[in-house]
Amino acid sequence: MRAGVLLVVVVGCGAPDRTLSKEQLGELIFHDPDLSEPRGQACADCHDRKLAFSDPEDDRTSMGVVRGRMGVRNALLSGHATLDEQEARGLATFEDPARGNCASCHPNRTHDGTPPLFTDFSYANIGVPRFADNPFYELPSVLNPAGADFIDRGLATTTGDPAHVGMFRVPTLRNVAVTGPFTHNGYFRQLDELIAHKSAFATKFPPEVPETVDREHFGTSRLTKQEIADLIAFLQTLTDT
């Protein structure tokens, strides 16, 4: 005797079809105040469809409807939040040309007062070492003909200019505290490692592409452990929470 499965489907006579399209489901989620943490704030509370989905409070940074929900990232510039002592020290190091000098490539102020993107969209070679555990090296030859000898040429892949070998786009620092590992090949796992490297080239291995390393702007500040910790405290305020 063959075993079988009997599937019984009960359909109510005249029952309405409750199948939702993706658009309808999205609209329900957009207006649902119970999906936030803590509850009480829906997307629609800060994005009014009657105002082209802009903030009905007419503010660059929405305060939201749940007290304390607004992150620090844009709130600092709009006057809705302040830095604590360590974060303020980190910002000072970030802007100081003689110390962090981070703002030279990751500008944190704009001329028109709009929220900064923390990148000038330039390209640079900061002396990132070769990452021996890069899984790209192990891909089939049809995808990576060079195998373990592969070197990412960066901008030069597009321009063909030898002066651009090893140069990569300066990234935004928004959400940097939660988007590791860092650099184009993921060599640095932690922010303190990356900052120490940019401050003093504090790595055990030489740059993968040494000839185009920007030694004028990197490797000379020699930040202390405290200054690095302060910088990280400031960078953590750029997270969307």
Question: Given this model, what pLDDT does residue 9 score?
Answer: 43
Give residue 58's pLDDT band: very low, low, confident or very high (50, 70, 90): low
Alpha-carbon 11 to chain mean position? 49
State how far the Cα of 193 lies from the Cα of 25, in Å rounded to an integer: 43
Q: What tokens were used for 231?
A: 């910088």
Tell me which CATH code domain 85-238 carries: 1.10.760.10
199 neighbors 221 (Cβ within 8 angstroms)? yes
Point out the least confidently predicted range of 48-52, 111-115, 141-145, 234-238. 48-52
Question: Given this model, what pLDDT does residue 166 score?
Answer: 96
pLDDT at 100 over 50: yes
More confident residue, 159 or 20: 159
Mean pLDDT confidence for 119-123: 96
pLDDT at 117 over 80: yes
Cα four-point dihedral sign 125, 166, 136, 119? positive
- Domain range list for the chain: 34-70, 85-238
- Classify the phi-psi angles of 40: left when phi > 0, otherwise alpha if psi is within -120 to 50, otherwise beta: left
Question: Given this model, what pLDDT does residue 57 score?
Answer: 66
Q: What is the 3-state secondary structure (H, E, C) of the chain?
A: CCCCCCCCCCCCCCCCCCCCCHHHHHHHHHCCCCCCCCCCCCHHHCCEHHHCCECCCCCCCCCCCCCCCCCHHHHHHHCCCCCCHHHHHHHHHHHCCCCCCHHHCCCCCCCCCCCCCCCCCCEECCCCECCCCCHHHHCCCCCCCCHHHCCCCECHHHHCCHHHCCEEECCCCCCHHHCCCECCCCCECCHHHHHHHHHHCCCCCCECCHHHCCCCCCCCCCCCHHHHHHHHHHHHHHCCC
Question: Given this model, what pLDDT does residue 4 score?
Answer: 45
Mean pLDDT, the chain, integer: 83
pLDDT at 56 over 50: yes
pLDDT, tens digit, 9 for 90 and up, residues 169-227? 999 999 899 898 999 999 999 999 999 999 988 778 899 999 999 998 888 888 999 99
pLDDT at 107 over 70: yes
More confident residue, 12 or 186: 186
Evaluate if pTM is beyond 0.85.
no
Beta carbons within 8 Å of 143's beta carbon, 6+ residues apart: none
Give residue 68's pLDDT band: very low, low, confident or very high (50, 70, 90): low
Strand partners, 207: 129
Q: What tokens were used for 45?
A: 């509370």
Question: Given this model, what pLDDT does residue 37 score?
Answer: 67
Question: Given this model, what pLDDT does residue 87 score?
Answer: 94
pLDDT at 162 over 50: yes
State how far the Cα of 228 lies from the Cα of 230, in Å rounded to an integer: 5
CB atoms within 10 A of CB 18: 5
pLDDT at 8 over 70: no
